[in-house]
Homo-oligomer: A and B are copies of this chain.
Amino acid sequence: MNERKISSSNYNNQIYLENRCTLNELLNLVSKRWMTEVLFCIEEGTSRFSGIKEDLKYISDTILADRLKILRNYGLIIQNDFHEVPPRIEYSLTSSGEELCNLLDQLCQFSENCMQMCGINSTQNKVGAE
């Protein structure tokens, strides 16, 4: 995947929003596709790359590797490398990661009431759609 244009309105708006409130940065992070599921896998003890891959059956290597890296960069998970061959690397939540999971669980409860109440699929909500 390619570089971001740092001279675009798209980029500038994002920076503007992230500066306005860090919530925007957090949402930008957790809303990436598969992100919460990866987090929940790790929370539930599925700690290896291959295990997560198996659990989230349609996720690609590329995306999983990316999501793990981001979570690691944000200090939400840590990596334990056993230095074996074939590689054995395990992930677990940091306390920050656990805290986030709890908050997401609350949001999840809300969404179960709210989303199903109105029976709309977000994929039907795009600009220009009727």
Copies of chain A in the complex = 2
A108 at the interface (CB under 8 A from B): yes
Asked whether, in the complex, the Cβ of A31 is within 8 Å of the Cβ of B31, the reply is yes
Bound CA span A5–B56, Å: 22
Asked whether, in the complex, the Cβ of B75 is within 8 Å of the Cβ of A117, the reply is yes
Bound CA span A40–B24, Å: 12
Identify which of B12, B22, B127 contacts A58 (C-beta below 8 A). B12
A89 at the interface (CB under 8 A from B): no
On chain A, the number of residues with a Cβ less than 8 Å from chain B's Cβ atoms is 64
**18 A/B residue pairs, CB under 8 Å, sorted by A:** A1-B127, A2-B128, A4-B123, A14-B33, A15-B121, A15-B123, A17-B33, A21-B36, A23-B104, A26-B108, A27-B30, A28-B122, A29-B122, A29-B125, A69-B125, A70-B125, A103-B110, A106-B106
